[in-house]
Amino acid sequence: MRYIFAVFALLVVLVVSVAGFRGQMSRRPPIELFPDMVRQPRVRPESYAEFFTNGFGSRLPVAGTIARDAAYQDLPLNTGRVPGTTNFVELSPVPMTAELLARGRDRFQISCLPCHGALADGKGITTKYGMTVIANLHDARIVQMGDGEIFNTITYGKNLMQGYGANIAIRDRWAIIAYVRALQLSQLGARDDVPPAQRAALR
């Protein structure tokens, strides 16, 4: 019986000491059992720091950094539209070069080929997995479409196609358009485009 009292008294002391003082204010620092990484040396913004040779805690932004709230540039390069209007530009603002075409081919084959197919005829592998109506980029409507509108389609998508603006850098979008134009041209050749001397070799 004496033991039971002793254990009971001990329990009371334990409960009061653990739970009894909760909510009480104390000016003493808390006991930290596992301080781990709670307190680390750090530099406050815009303050002195011995660590750097110029003594300045903040580092300069990387060259070419643009402020998040910098004015958005309403340029055909960024929007595919004639500045100040909602009209799409007819021609890409990026000059056509062999490098641009090669880059466009590379990017097209990563981002567009699975659906539109290597020839851009809309017969990509996804047609076998339930995606049935994929635009054939050789349709006269799309051949005649301005570069700016295709830029807009890549950026924001169109009907069933989602936008790829977040995945494809602006310059790469224009590169892809250049390559799509080359693919279109490859299907638009007429017999008369072939030099007469070689026409006989055509089937």
Residue (57 or 146) nearer to ligand HEC, CB? 146
Closer Cβ to ligand HEC, 92 or 164, answer by number? 164
SS3 per-residue string spanning the chain? CHHHHHHHHHHHHHHHHHHCCCCCCCCCCCCCCCCCCCCCCCCCCCCECCCCCCCECCCCCCCCCCCCCCCCCCCHHHHCECCCCCCECCCCCCCCCHHHHHHHHHHHHHHCHHHHCCCCCCCCHHHHHCCCCCCCCCCHHHHHCCHHHHHHHHHHEECCEECCCCCCCHHHHHHHHHHHHHHHHHHHCCHHHCCHHHHCCCC
> How many chain residues interact with ligand HEC (CB under 6 A)?
22
| Contact range with ligand HEC by CB under 6 A, out of 12-20, 23-31, 92-100, 150-158 | 150-158
118 to 147: interface string for ligand HEC, x by CB under 6 A: --------x------xxx-x----x-----
Name which position in 58, 91, 158, 194 contacts ligand HEC (CB under 6 A): 158
Only segment of 13-21, 45-53, 96-104, 161-169 that touches ligand HEC (CB under 6 A): 161-169
Of the pair 85, 144, the CB lying nearest ligand HEC is at: 144
Q: Looking at beta carbons only, is 105 or 164 nearer to ligand HEC?
A: 164
Neighbouring residues of 53: CB distance < 8 A, sequence distance ≥ 6: none
63 to 122, contacts with ligand HEC by CB under 6 A?
111-112, 114-116
Residues that bind ligand HEC (CB under 6 A): 111-112, 114-116, 126, 133-135, 137, 142, 150, 153-154, 158-161, 164, 168, 176, 180
